[in-house]
Amino acid sequence: MEVLGPKDFPELKNDTFLRAARGEEIEHIPVWCMRQAGRYLSEFRELRAGKDFFETCRSPEACCELTLQPLRRFPFDAAIIFSDILVVPQAMGMEVQMSPGKGPTFPEPLKEPEDLQRLKTKVDVSSELDYVFKAITLTRHRIEGKVPLIGFTGAPWTLMSYMIEGGGSTTHSKAKRWLYRYPEASHKFLSQLTDVIVEYLLGQVKAGAQALQVFESHTGCLGPVEFKEFSLPYLRDIARRVKDKIKESGLDNVPMIVFAKDGHYGLEDLSESGYEVVGLDWTIDPRSARIRTGGKVSLQGNMDPCALYSTKERISEIVKRMLEGFGTKGYIANLGHGLYPDMDPENVGAFVEAVHTHSRQLLNCK
């Protein structure tokens, strides 16, 4: 099989998503969905059947196919590489398993600061996460310039929480205990994660990623004070350092998106954190988000995923209202969280169609 390198990629045919991220003129509002490559698609379930989750993540061929599947069904304006945020803890030396019905599990989570010694002090990202870079490069060739490809990572606080909790959590109390009891060790840990994440994101851009999203999925369990101390500085650091390194490497700048779920209290700070786009969950009113971010950034989101359980007519109404709230400039339509496994693909199609139809009408009215 021919091995294609990260150059001579097919020319991009639809750059609407990138233009919207930069706040430029568009013909329609771009749309994509978090977890658009997911279990709601029968072809996804078929390809994944009987295979270990992380084994799939380590197969560039499988990741490429899973990334492309939703594009064959829906006219999305962007693709996001199929992978997982927990490949970073694995690269740092931790074991992570994906248990059916339970989600990610760390058999030996970090309990006390001395456990940090178990992590690799130096992570060779180019070899440890090479399979992600290969998947991105392969997908950039096979996507044939149809739409831009997004790379992503989990944010430091979110990864720290998983690595201490040992999996998902409703309270995140074990991880938060560290913030209050071991603030110095927490900062050391978060810095260590940041260093790996910066190299990881740079590697994704070198491999062909045309945009990057940073998922801070566990913002909701922090208060504003803890957010400003243990999350925001690292999010800012990632944006600044990645942009500097991209420049130093002579690569083209790529838009960066920060998605801090349930971080409504930090919206103003997030709009000044060095990202071109701020992703929003469904708990934030679009008009209010526009006012609070003061036109400094593009916005992405934020339909409640559960609205997809509704009828196609109702989805169309909800989308219309959402688009009117955000306006057409500097806006990328998305859900306020990822697609759920039991969702009807036909309704996902109705969502995409409604965004394109209503946005063209709004833009023609101008």
Among the listed residues 39, 73, 236, 314, the single catalytic one is 39
Catalytic residue among 19, 35, 140, 241: 35
Q: How far is CA 214 from CA 65, 85, 277, 304, in A?
A: 23, 9, 10, 20
The residue annotated as part of the active site, out of 19, 58, 162, 237, is 162
Our answer to whether residue 162 is catalytic in this structure is yes
Kind plus residue range of the DSSP H or E element containing 279:
strand 277-279
Q: Is 236 a catalytic residue?
A: no
Rounded distance between C-alpha atoms, residue 37 and residue 22, angstroms:
25
Q: How far apart are alpha carbons 334 and 16 in whole angstroms?
A: 14
Instruction: Clarify whether 287 is annotated catalytic.
Output: no
Residue reference for tokens 């020319």: 11
Active-site entry in 84, 130, 195, 285: 84
Is 84 catalytic? The answer is yes
Q: What is the DSSP-derived secondary structure letter of residue 121? A: S
Report the b/e string of 50-80 with b at 16+ CB within 10 A. Answer: eeebbebbbbbebbbbbbbbbbeebebbbbb
Tokens representing residue 241 in the block: 């350092």
Angle of the 173-181 helix axis to the 156-165 helix axis, nearest 10:
110
* Catalytic annotation present for 180: no
- List the structure tokens of 68: 């492309």
> Exactly one of 22, 48, 236, 292 is catalytic; which is it?
48
Give catalytic residue positions: 35, 39, 48, 84, 162
